[in-house]
């Protein structure tokens, strides 16, 4: 018998809100977090829009001296971890510390630190590079700092699997608990990569939307006139617990995590396989892991990046996986509101999938105006939908052809 794993706490910092409550309210109102970039001068850039975190002060959570040693993605992770643990009601005591782990992933880590310290190196020499540069920037320090902050002494890990990283962190944590290596995991993703170099790089690939005259309407997944993704930032974390551990302490349970899949396209460094085979197999693996049938799935939080190829091929993969039932499944892309948080995307979208089950309401795909003949499923257009579903699937696909799928289920005794 596999140990059952449940979700007991949630934490968010996103472009539409700096908590679970404010973010969910924004999704239910269909509010976009995309606007003109404020972090740097975009005059010479072909892309001038992004989904930035707003009104966030790390000093609300972290002492100034410590905050200066951390990249922004770590600030976001700490804020989200504080909220998630508070939401779960879990106090990590010394006797349980070794059974509580942290697994917080990122696609890039802190790009700001890399650019800032590189400029110091070129202009002022190696003696001016900060001794805190490396620990402020590297991917695993979000998990490391959260572990230190909360005294979690169990497994401590991170992956850098591009846009699948947050989902891989949640899925791997699920397996860690299932096999008995921990009873609790603080897991998800964090990212802060809205920087000159990052935006220039993604723009050079022609991956980003150039709808500079309409920021709020720029991210339009599955819609005919989509022209690229909008880069975002933030963190999405959840507390996973072994069911009996959660029961013993009287925890409130949001949902159960029942299935996880990982696959590779083995096709191209950036473009998804046009047949959707990798996406098909990852969804099938999550279903098989859970012992669930395709016709039982009621909602999919899609990867849905708003790029021409991803949305077309993901739609194709959903139809291959679910057959005729694909037309009965509600599919939405919350990236239409949050933008694409890269390594944190799977983290926040895992949280959204849990909230959809918990609140019995599905978030919409906004900016859906003109249907695309190649994308002909039910994308919950423009308005949230009250609907009680038993299973919610969350897809995450990344550069290099790395795929992850998480299957959450309404909790049943």
Which of these is catalytic: 75, 150, 168, 303?
A: 303
Which of these is catalytic: 75, 168, 340, 358?
A: 340
Catalytic annotation present for 340: yes
Per-residue b/e over 336-350, b at no fewer than 16 CB within 10 Å? bbbbbbbbbbbbbbb
Contact 333, 368 (CB under 8 A): no
Q: Which residue has 């257009």 as its token pair?
A: 381
Please tell me the distance from the alpha carbon of residue 116 to that of residue 133, in angstroms, as a whole number. 9
Catalytic annotation present for 163: yes
Residue 64: partners with Cβ closer than 8 Å, 6 or more residues away:
none
Neighbours of 51 (CB within 10 A): 29
Phi, psi of 380 (to 5 degrees): 45, 60
Number of DSSP helices (H) and strands (E) in the chain, helices first: 13, 14
Catalytic annotation present for 75: no
**Do the bridges between strand 385-386 and strand 361-362 make them parallel or antiparallel, or are there none, so unpaired?**
antiparallel
For the residues of 197-229, what is the DSSP string, one character each? Answer: HHHHHHHHTT-B---TT-GGGS--TTBTT---B
Neighbours of 28 (CB within 10 A): 16
Which of these is catalytic: 163, 187, 358, 375?
A: 163
Phi-psi domain of 412 (left: phi exceeds 0; alpha: psi -120 through 50; beta: other):
beta
Q: Which residues are catalytically annotated?
A: 163, 303, 340
């Amino acid at each position: 018998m596999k140990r059952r794993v449940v979700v007991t706490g949630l934490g968010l910092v996103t472009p539409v809100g700096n908590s679970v409550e404010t973010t969910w309210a924004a999704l239910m109102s269909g509010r976009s977090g995309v606007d003109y970039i404020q972090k740097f001068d975009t005059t010479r850039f072909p892309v001038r829009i992004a989904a930035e975190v707003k009104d966030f002060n790390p000093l609300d959570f972290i002492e100034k001296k410590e905050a200066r040693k951390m990249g922004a993605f770590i600030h976001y992770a700490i804020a989200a971890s504080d909220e998630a643990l508070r939401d779960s009601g879990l106090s990590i005591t010394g006797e349980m510390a070794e059974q509580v782990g942290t697994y917080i992933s990122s696609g890039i880590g802190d790009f700001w630190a890399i650019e800032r310290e590189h400029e110091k190196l070129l202009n002022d020499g190696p003696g001016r590079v900060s001794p805190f540069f490396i620990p402020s920037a590297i991917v695993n320090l979000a998990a490391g700092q959260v572990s230190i902050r909360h005294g979690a002494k169990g497994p401590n890990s991170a992956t850098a699997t591009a846009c699948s990283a947050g989902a891989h962190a949640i899925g791997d944590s699920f397996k860690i608990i299932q096999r008995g290596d921990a009873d609790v995991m603080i897991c998800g993703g964090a990212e802060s990569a809205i920087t000159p170099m990052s935006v220039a790089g993604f723009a050079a690939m022609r991956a980003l939307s150039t709808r500079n005259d309409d920021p709020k309407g720029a991210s339009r997944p599955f819609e005919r006139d989509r022209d690229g993704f909008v880069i975002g930032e933030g963190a999405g974390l959840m507390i996973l617990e072994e069911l009996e551990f959660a029961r013993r302490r009287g925890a409130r349970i949001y949902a159960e995590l029942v299935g996880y899949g990982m696959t590779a396209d083995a096709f191209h460094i950036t473009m998804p396989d046009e047949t959707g085979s990798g996406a098909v197999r990852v969804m099938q693996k999550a279903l098989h892991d859970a012992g669930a049938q395709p016709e039982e799935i009621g909602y999919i939080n899609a990867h849905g990046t708003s790029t021409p190829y991803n949305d077309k091929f993901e739609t194709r993969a959903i139809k291959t996986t679910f057959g005729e039932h694909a037309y009965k499944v509600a599919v939405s892309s919350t990236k239409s509101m949050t933008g694409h948080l890269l390594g944190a995307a799977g983290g926040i979208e895992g949280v959204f999938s849990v909230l959809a089950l918990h609140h019995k309401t599905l978030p919409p795909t906004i900016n859906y105006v003109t249907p695309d003949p190649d994308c002909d499923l039910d994308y919950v257009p423009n308005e949230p939908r009250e609907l009680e579903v038993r299973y919610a699937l969350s897809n995450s696909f990344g550069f290099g052809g790395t795929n992850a799928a998480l299957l959450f289920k309404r909790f049943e005794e």
